[in-house]
Chains A and B, each alone.
Chain A
């Protein structure tokens, strides 16, 4: 008992001693500490990474040929490691001139051979995001010819057809366009894996930050690159910690142990609003919420019915209630911050108008409808809201909730009536969404174009498909933007898609943090402009 008492006493003493020293909050002035969910990172290889947290890291560690400027994303892609480029007359070959004087973190100079290596490597590795490059006709077999070294600082890429230069360059701003230090990576090749195994956990970039370490599900640490060509970043160290819980992130933020909390839920966002030490940073992301109407259904195939249903959705009601702060009304298929975005919101909740349109369609007495929705809270709530508002026009709606797999299987088999969907763009070019919402040249069941949303809803649009293809080939950026605007306005009128919302991402930050940009819908976060 005596020993026990002594032990207990000494333990209590240790605890007191320890705690007396732990009240030193506030992160150092030159260090940025971020709480984020980073358990989706499963590789750091730019040719393989396709997750949000991974794109965040890679954007800050690797340079790209062209890149978005965090100071103004709306300027579109800007020269980065490529200083300039020229396009051949047939529009198929782009010749890049590399920016001189830039070094990789290893000290090797950034040269054309590195760019050639990086792009060829991404095509040949053929991992998940490879389609972003291979859609231009690059294959493992032709990559050596199509992506060609000209001299130390010049190289060219030749696509299989004519594509809009802005399309190609937009794609090169995505993660897979990162330029890798070829000498460093070649030293780590194992059994012809192009250094994939090594790059999964290491980096070989030239960006603003140098990877120090990545501990899966725990943290990653970056240190500033003093030789970064845009100037050494103010924050000499960036630490991103995996904190899964929103409440925990909030606590750390309030306490000053972190500078940014990336995953606060709406309750916690509301909770920190009164705190003068903290502020909320809003950014639009690429995710879009829509409901779609299968054109195989005889009622839904009537244009008046499609139009009526678009008037029978309470956009504002949903935005201001359960989606508050997380989604904003958006009614066209290109997310804001994309080339060719439009701001038009022609549809408002209007029961009288909806009823009138149904009457014109000969369905004044209403009809039966089934909505399928996956078991995700916000989507179920959307389905319930739609069920309620449709019923006000006499449409009797039932909701079928299933797992993501079940509902997706039905959707892909075109067996649904109404589907509540979410869509995230794959790469920062308008074609990523236009090619799925506004493209369906072959509507037959045999086409099995299950990846195309228009096909899934059996919406046959030969004319609009042509317009979408034409937009992909238009060399002039401004003209191309105008083409997408026209397609979207036409789409808004006719499409069996009621596009409703665009995602807002809210980040909690300490008030002294300045210059944050989380990348909008088109790119990822930039740490280098941040100051405290």
Chain B
């Protein structure tokens, strides 16, 4: 048995190196996931009671105009054929043209996704920087006032409707106090003065070395990013707390303390060291959720991101845009999954 096993492994190693088979299986998983995702979205888009042709030509168009648009969209073909045509185009990087914006969907996505990415990244960074320590402290000082405050903060974060808290935030911080910039990514005067490189204004303005625009962009992003940060903070701090509690009850912690290690070493090196791996998943998921774009935040802050793009498209049966957006969101999820798998290996030698 033992000999057989080693031979087997050796044979495998000879023919396909493990990293190739690893990559292969990752690619396979990605493909299956994406095709499944696209199929479901496609079907939902087709059974929706909205006529995509009417949304292009309008009510008063003549029959001939309607027919022409109908054929142009390829709606006269069978559903399955439409789906395969769509898959073929996507494989060539062609998402088609959006009905609403009259531009290639890929171009639209390049415009809206960086806006969301900027917001989500800022939100997640702040959420992690505040949420993790808060969760750790709440776990260490379990039952103390700080734990209660952390719980209330998280609860409020979960349950406050974003449109309300967003508007109140705008009203007070922008309207009354003038501490932050208003809706939109920049003040009107600063729009379009820095060259577009990444589409993320914070990054582009730094690249251009334009601190005035950078400061303006910061003043605009503070509030919406803070709002998103609050939400991810609520989630991250609660999860951190429960992971930490679990670790702090373990016997190795007692051992470490008995050994005379300092309290911060016990907490941060030992307990937190073991929390990192599950925490990566939590953070990756909450980041991914923000990258999907939060429609309400984007609407209130007039932030031209992917969430409102997909929603507007969906409501007007602009299926190319919806499917293109779905592909991007799907890819983001898959990539973040792969990335957190890599981080596991980094943090946890056993997973290597």
Contacts and interface: CB of A to CB of B under 8 A. Distances in A.
A181 B268 CA distance: 70
A50 B58 contact: yes
Nearest to A403: B49
A11 B126 contact: yes
Interface stretch (A21-29, A294-302, A332-340, A521-529): A21-29
B304 A218 contact: yes
A1 interface: yes
A325 to B, nearest CB: 22
Contacts of B187: 22, 24, 257
B175 A126 contact: no
A359 interface: no
Interface stretch (A127-135, A147-155, A282-290, A388-396): A127-135
Nearest to B181: A22
Contact size range, A: 35 or more
A247 B126 CA distance: 27
Interface string A25-57: 101100101000001001100000010000000
A512 interface: no
B175 A251 contact: yes
Contacts of B181: 22
B257 interface: no
Residue of B170, B182, B187, B188 most packed against chain A (CB within 10 A): B188
A254 B111 contact: no
B188 A257 contact: yes
A14 interface: yes
Contacts of B218: 14-15, 18
B175 A128 contact: no
Nearest to A130: B65
A131 B170 CA distance: 46
A128 B49 contact: no
A350 interface: no
A28 B218 CA distance: 22
B68 interface: yes
Contact size range, B: 35 or more
B157 to A, nearest CB: 18
B110 interface: no
Contacts of A15: 218, 222
Interface stretch (A238-246, A458-466, A497-505): A238-246
Contact of B219 (A21, A33, A248): A21
A510 to B, nearest CB: 14
B182 A257 contact: yes
Contact of A251 (B64, B133, B182, B222): B182
Contact of A239 (B99, B103, B191, B264): B191
Contact of A8 (B65, B101, B129): B129
Residue of A15, A25, A50, A451 most packed against chain B (CB within 10 A): A15
B108 interface: yes
Contact of B264 (A1, A28, A251): A1
Nearest to B50: A405
Interface string B113-133: 000000000000010011001
Nearest to B55: A42
Interface in A401-415: 403, 405
A321 interface: no
A42 B219 contact: no
Interface in B107-159: 108, 111, 126, 129-130, 133
B216 A252 contact: no
A244 B299 contact: yes
B102 A200 contact: yes
A6 to B, nearest CB: 11
Contact of A128 (B60, B130, B304): B60
Interface stretch (A89-97, A209-217, A478-486): A209-217
Interface string A411-438: 0000000000000001000000000000
Given A22-B181, A243-B302, A128 B57 contact: yes
B178 A213 contact: no
A410 to B, nearest CB: 15
19 contacts: A21-B219, A22-B187, A23-B179, A28-B189, A128-B56, A128-B58, A128-B65, A201-B103, A213-B192, A216-B100, A217-B308, A217-B312, A243-B184, A245-B299, A248-B300, A251-B175, A252-B183, A405-B49, A426-B60
